[in-house]
Structure 1
């Protein structure tokens, strides 16, 4: 028997290296014992290890590449062995391996794992408060490991998640983890669990253990987005959005937030620097001005839904600064499934379009704000529409007297939107 020791339940890197080597040697799956370190084991993962170096003995079809991370994240006790058996089928040149029971079982397992990942993402609320969110859940440690990047992207505010055999703490922009079993007395209340986490968890970036993990992403397609059953699910999908190139330089997808029963939907252009960092729309200087104007108009932000036509920050880097760039038509078009889905899932009566980009995205045509603002009209979806300026335009106005006049007009536009209810 070949005894292969993996350093974690999520050791994708170790499994891949050994699988390549064993396939090269034509070692049969029945002769391999895959030993991933059990949860809570006293056996610490090796800080350094020598993995076999073998070229990949076969070219994997894309569906197989997408399947492997999901199966490993599933926590199934035979996942490493089952995946190796699949590679044997492919190496044997079987053209119909997708018709085998093994393939169908693995596809079903991957499907259930992705559903569990979406459910896991939904336990973390948006970063509307800087208070730490503490969650106790029952999922496989390997699933929690695979979703750590997504959870960080979903909630920039601090959080702590504990499941049997794994503890993840995200605080001060850094992820900490522990694999040791937690004593019962440390679980008595949230304060004790947090104290225990802060005293025992180690930083992920220092850990060889964590470098072996491959994150499970669930890249949404427009048809996938269109079928989302709720705003919470839509937000969970948005983490892995790759519909346009803006997803690569931006820190995260900034999804809409607010009251899911909102009667008014506000749609702006795109996140700015602060929004991208904090994971919330309209929290930078323009957002603060918007909140103040909304209050003066008689409204309260928490009662409404706030979103953007584009969900990623478009910028150019100049030294330490990220300079806002107007999104291009390709970005607006690529992002349209998101705002369309938000509008479908909300039951709002009024849609307020803030600025040219928000208005053009929703109306599907060029818009001149100065010509179309400050009047109510009916949109194709039956809601009442109103076009007004984006609050950032007020901040860019150099003339103080004109800025004050424009601000009063903006407040009046918001007051008109509220009156339409």
Structure 2
């Protein structure tokens, strides 16, 4: 059994030298015990660091980059796992590109966690000013999850090159005097200052830029867990800002509605055109990244009836117009039989971007989820403020959720009018694409007739 003692928990160079020597000596992974830092064995075999003079081998650069990150992880098995992967990699060079290999996936996850910890240190570390015999010095406390402090020090040296600073962590402390970086022993949170006069200014700035319309508490906590809050002056404001977010957002929406209504009173077509142009650049949810374009509503801005569908399909995404594909053809046929001229109604969708799964060359429709529907309600709300239709028809459950702000069932609401929160009446029916999916011809014809009747009732109302 070979025991290897590395100088520190983040000793990549030491691991690399030892791993090269062990591999050249044909020592299998099961015969090596890896230790690091102060917990090392005094009788560790340092001789394994010396590789045979004529021994050489190469590994893919991607493995070296992966190993640099993995060594910084806190898992005590990381050195052994890396060496086991190296042992296999020498016989199977293509293993580095095999995303299905369990060991490679585990190492990649280690590296991902390390990179995330590095990002959090850069994002959530806060310096506080103190004074010593040489003048101002800035001190910060941070508790990393992995051994990233030395690897991250270069970032702070470049970012705050002209400052004198210290970063204190439980494992190691690093100090910069403007020219030289030095290390010291680990510290405790009590060694760091609690605050400084600059923090009041920072809190005021943070409160002023806090946007309640963009608050997503779950996403915020995932990106910035509460464990980091105690080091950041602005986070003391977060609970209160979140508590007031709904009221502030309602105020912002009301102000926007008043503005649109005022414009609509003088030039409704111009207001609609401006709203459509603004929606063309919408990035309120991730769907814009893959869709061809925003598919906005269309029709007269004084329409008495508004139809709201689910989302644009493949053909709508390419054409930039709602209901022009197969479901649109069913919709047009139903309008005609109900005695409704499509040119007199306003047609739009609850979600303005096409959501799909790529299967070969085909783009297969994928149902929008709650966050995507909620993000797009902004546009539906503004369309309704501008057009103010007495009657709105929800085509399908997604459209109904968008209009009522909650999950509803078509069977429970179909066939009668319902009051909308912003005024007007709503009717709920199926989406025309549902009729296309019915396998039985007789059932499809029966459902189509019922769909036509729903439209006729809404139009009469």
> Normalising by structure 2, what TM-score?
0.42
Q: More helix by proportion, 1 or 2?
A: 2
Q: TM-score, normalised by structure 1?
A: 0.46
